[in-house]
Amino acid sequence: MLNKSLKRLLCLVFALLLTGSLSGADLESNIVNQLNRVARDMHYSSQMIGQADESAAAAFAKESASIENLKKAFYRLENRQEIDIAADQLRLFAYRISSEAEKKAFEEGLRILEGRVKYLVQTENPTLVSSLNNVKALRNEFENSITEKEPVFARRVQNLASRSRVTRNSAPKGLLGAHVKNGSTSFSVYSPAAEQVNLVLFKEAKDKTGRSFKMNKNSDGIWTATVKGELYGTFYGFTASGPNSDGHLFDSERLLSDPYAFANYEHNGKSVVVNRSFKWTDKNFRRPAANDAIIYEMHIKDYTAHKSAGVPASDRGKYLGLLHGKGTDKVLGHLKDLGVNCLEFLPVHEFDNNFAGETNHWGYMTSHFFAPESFYASGKEGQAVNEFKTLVNELHQEGFAVIMDVVFNHTAEGDHRGLPLNFKGFDNPGYYRLMDNKKYYWNGTGCGNEFRSDSLMGQKVILDSLKYWVNEYHVDGFRFDLGTIIDKNTMQRIIDELPKDIILVSEPWAADWKRNQWGKSDFRNTRLGKWNDDYREKIRGFVSGNANRNDVMTVLAGTCFWWTAKPTESLNYVESHDGYTLFDLFHGDKKKTRLAAIALLTSQGIPMIHEGQEFNRSKNGNHNSYNQDNETNWINWNVKKQNRDIYELYRGLIGLRNKFDNFKHSVALNSQHLDWILPANQNGVGMILKGKETFIVLLNGDQRNWVNFKIPHGTWQVVCDGEKVKETGLYTAQGDYNVPPVTGVILRK
């Protein structure tokens, strides 16, 4: 996805073209990915026509490369099933064409597919002639319909974005769902076009029949019913009948779960009336300021699932498993000793663990925005509510803020082939962005649909959910997956309406480059931080001896010359759940992983470390492990013993960052804060970080040569020699300082 964007989310997972056979879901995603890239690169190269500089040459080379990758994707097709999948994805791509570049990308893809099938018919499998006829029919279907030019495409996109079936001026008030009060339980659900909605109560999660109650509809489109009794532990759902036109998918025979369910029996089961009372003891906890934050990205199960974690089997891989290890060098004891202060959990909203028949381990297929994931709890009947609160409460007492990775850009209901679970069955055109042909969904996420944040109720769901997790679960921040699918107005409301000390970060991209609702330069000078893929690529390149020094200087100083107004708008990372671990990326080269760590933790901005990065964890070269619920993803704590030196380096660097403000300014730096040391060797760069004490950071990305740095006059304490950190100094230095290849050094005065 534009750099890091086509990520993890299981359907965002685009498998490497040169690996083994792809599953159907991976094949679909791979084709969509390649078509989007071709369209993007064709768009950029068209803007370079008539120019004769290096940028134009690079743009045309990139277009050629993306077309070659598209060919590779189609040349791997071997059988009728794979060909039909490819043709179907081309058809869906054609439905959402909104630019001349996308039209050309479609035509190129169709030409390549037709050529591939012809070859197979003539040389290997004559029975595929029916597939060839289907591809030809696809060409005829769109030959006359896709004749528009750019201005018409632009108007179409604008019309689709502004179209709204909702005529009210404001969304309904209050938190919907199931609420127990004064000896009764009330239920409410939104379905403005429904003709009848029934509440159905069940004693057990697996019951096929239950008690049905007719609900009443108000002018806001809210259906309500109240039943006597405190129905804690009761399972429930709804049936809804209404029109099957204009994008609606009503089915009176289908049981739907509650979009506002506070607990749900797995992602596709019944909702649960749950007792949400809890005694909090974290009143003295204070969230760290953005410039003080050091984020640790982690997966609930992976952290304790491996036997080496030493967690009892009953808690292994669960919410409460993270509370084990106090006083040890594992799990909670490890985090305390490391010195990070913000734990960012991969999605814990209830999600589909097996989307489209494939393991969805990371959790980027949300089904319920108000319910914690039951897979991480001791049971599926609402136990997750109390156990996640217990986790947050205890982590606060240990000094950790909790950040949730939230997925509001799409849901687990998928595309037109996905069955209604909740949103689709109540108000499909209100909750999702539909194409002109309302059978189909816009798919800028690469995961089948786009949640309609720009509708009144879609926006309400997002804001209600965020505020609910802050108030109900005392959560301290949110990371927005594929954040640019969320419309600009909704994102601004999030910034404005959530408490000012809540940490907010977002991925500033979408899977489909044409579906971005906003970009990196938007929301400048606000508290919204953005995942900085520029930082990731420039620092990785520098560590490998292949980077532009001016670019490296820009990202080291907080990216303020590009798209941030202050460093805290940049979330810096060199490893995340997406892509290779640093150990795998650099083929086990410890010098490179050390240099990357030193750069990361001395840069301006919010640093993020991925679980296990601090001891050179490997995933055996798997760059896309979204579907691996096994030792590929589980943290093997024995690796920490093997790489204790790397861990101690991270621990020491974090200790320096926590103690000294030189490394964490909240304003754009100028000569009062920073001076540069620029040696003749372009692979070297030095930072003089001024303050009550002065630090010098010397970074040498040259792969072979030492670099000479002329440091300011006086005697300096070397607090990091590239391998070890000691705050009081390992030894002294003065005059010129020669830094070995692929090494970072920190001096203090």
Q: Which one, of 120, 125, 141, 225, lies nearest residue 177 by Cα?
A: 225
Domain 674-748 superfamily per CATH: Golgi alpha-mannosidase II (2.60.40.1180)
Question: pLDDT at position 24, please?
Answer: 66
> Does the structure show a pLDDT above 60 at 556?
yes
pLDDT tens figures, 448-490: 999 999 999 999 999 999 999 999 999 999 999 999 999 999 9
Q: With contact defined as beta carbons under 8 Å apart, do 227 and 213 qualify? A: yes
Question: What gap in Å lies between CA 542 and CA 555, rounded to an integer?
Answer: 11
User: What is the pLDDT of the chain when averaged over all its residues?
Assistant: 92
The SS3 of residue 485 is helix
Cβ within 8 Å of residue 177, ≥6 positions away? 187, 188, 258, 260, 261, 262, 370
Question: pLDDT at position 165, please?
Answer: 38
**Quick one: CA torsion of 613, 615, 618, 619, rounded to 10 degrees?**
-50
> Does the structure show a pLDDT above 80 at 49?
no
> Does the structure show a pLDDT above 90 at 45?
no
> Does the structure show a pLDDT above 60 at 516?
yes
CATH topology of domain 290-663: TIM Barrel (3.20.20)
CATH topology of domain 177-272: Immunoglobulin-like (2.60.40)
pLDDT tens figures, 373-383: 999 999 999 99
Separation in Å, CA 538 to CA 556, 581, 593, 617, 686: 9, 16, 15, 22, 16
Question: pLDDT at position 18, please?
Answer: 30
Residue with tokens 């001026």: 169
pLDDT tens figures, 678-701: 999 999 999 999 999 999 999 999
| Higher pLDDT among residues 357 and 242, named by residue | 242
The boundaries of every CATH 2.60.40.1180 domain in the chain are 674-748
**If you write DSSP's letter for every residue of 421-482 in order, what string do you get?**
SSHHHHHHHHHB-B-SSTTSB--TTSSS--B-TTSHHHHHHHHHHHHHHHHHH---EEEETT
Task: Give residue 165's identity as a one-letter amino acid code.
Answer: R
For 74-88, 415-429, 475-489, 608-622, which range has the lowest pLDDT when averaged over its residues?
Answer: 74-88
Question: pLDDT at position 30, please?
Answer: 82
CB neighbour burial string for 374-406, b if at least 16 within 10 angstroms, e if fewer: bbbbeebbbbbbbbbbebbbbbbeeebbbbbbb
Question: What gap in Å lies between CA 466 and CA 404, rounded to an integer?
Answer: 10
The boundaries of every CATH 3.20.20.80 domain in the chain are 290-663
**Quick one: CA torsion of 413, 416, 417, 422, rounded to 10 degrees?**
30
Residue with tokens 């499909």: 428
Question: pLDDT at position 261, please?
Answer: 98
**DSSP 8-state class, residue 264:** B
Under the banding of pLDDT at 50, 70 and 90, the label for residue 185 is very high
CB neighbour burial string for 181-195, b if at least 16 within 10 angstroms, e if fewer: eeeebebbbbbbbbe
> pTM, whole model, 2 decimals?
0.85
Q: With contact defined as beta carbons under 8 Å apart, do 568 and 623 qualify? A: no
Q: Crossing angle for the helix pair 383-397 and 456-473, nearest 10 degrees?
A: 60
The SS3 of residue 221 is coil
Question: What gap in Å lies between CA 302 and CA 636, rounded to an integer?
Answer: 9
- Alpha-carbon torsion (216, 222, 225, 226), positive or negative: negative
Q: Which one, of 545, 537, 557, 536, lies nearest residue 684 by Cα?
A: 545
Q: How many residues does the chain have?
A: 749
pLDDT tens figures, 724-735: 999 999 999 999
Q: With contact defined as beta carbons under 8 Å apart, do 627 and 361 qualify? A: yes
| Higher pLDDT among residues 229 and 56, named by residue | 229
Average pLDDT over residues 263-274: 98
Question: pLDDT at position 53, please?
Answer: 65
pLDDT tens figures, 324-346: 999 999 999 999 999 999 999 99
**If you write DSSP's letter for every residue of 586-645 in order, what string do you get?**
TTT-HHHHHHHHHHHHHSSSEEEEETTGGGT---TT-S--TT--STTTS--THHHHHTHH
Q: Which one, of 64, 96, 62, 75, lies nearest residue 22 by Cα?
A: 75
For 74-78, 176-180, 299-303, 505-509, which range has the lowest pLDDT when averaged over its residues?
Answer: 74-78
> Is residue 107 exposed (0-12), middle (13-18) or buried (19+ Cβ within 10 Å)?
middle
Q: ∠ CA(159), CA(165), CA(167), 5° rounding?
A: 115
Q: With contact defined as beta carbons under 8 Å apart, do 171 and 460 qualify? A: yes
The boundaries of every CATH 2.60.40.10 domain in the chain are 177-272
> Does the structure show a pLDDT above 80 at 168?
no
Average pLDDT over residues 429-448: 95
Separation in Å, CA 309 to CA 242, 346, 373, 498: 52, 19, 22, 36
Question: What gap in Å lies between CA 358 and CA 365, rounded to an integer?
Answer: 12
pLDDT tens figures, 270-322: 999 999 999 999 999 999 999 999 999 999 999 999 999 999 999 999 999 99
